[in-house]
Amino acid sequence: MGQRITTICKTCGKEMKISPAQGRKKMCTECSYEIKKIRSSEKYWSKKAPNSTRHKYWLGRYKSMNNMLNK
């Protein structure tokens, strides 16, 4: 195999083993898929029912994931 670097995901704190070319990677694939799901849900509920409970829930989750990522 090749050389691997061990880094830590900024959102969940799990260890990742990545190649040296991916050294700037910040989050694991599970967290990136979760952010993708949150973004699409927030976009859907902002159009379907703005300021509803579900829209506020997805907006809050999106903001909290972004804050964890940008720390």
What pLDDT digit, counting tens, does each position of 17-65 carry?
999 999 898 899 999 999 999 999 999 999 999 999 999 999 999 999 8
**What is the model's pTM?**
0.77
Query: Which CA distances in Å does 33 have to 3, 30, 36?
Result: 26, 5, 5
Cβ–Cβ < 8 Å for 10, 69: yes
**Which pLDDT value is given to residue 1?**
59
First to last CA, the chain: 33
Query: ∠ CA(67), CA(48), CA(43), 5° rounding?
Result: 30
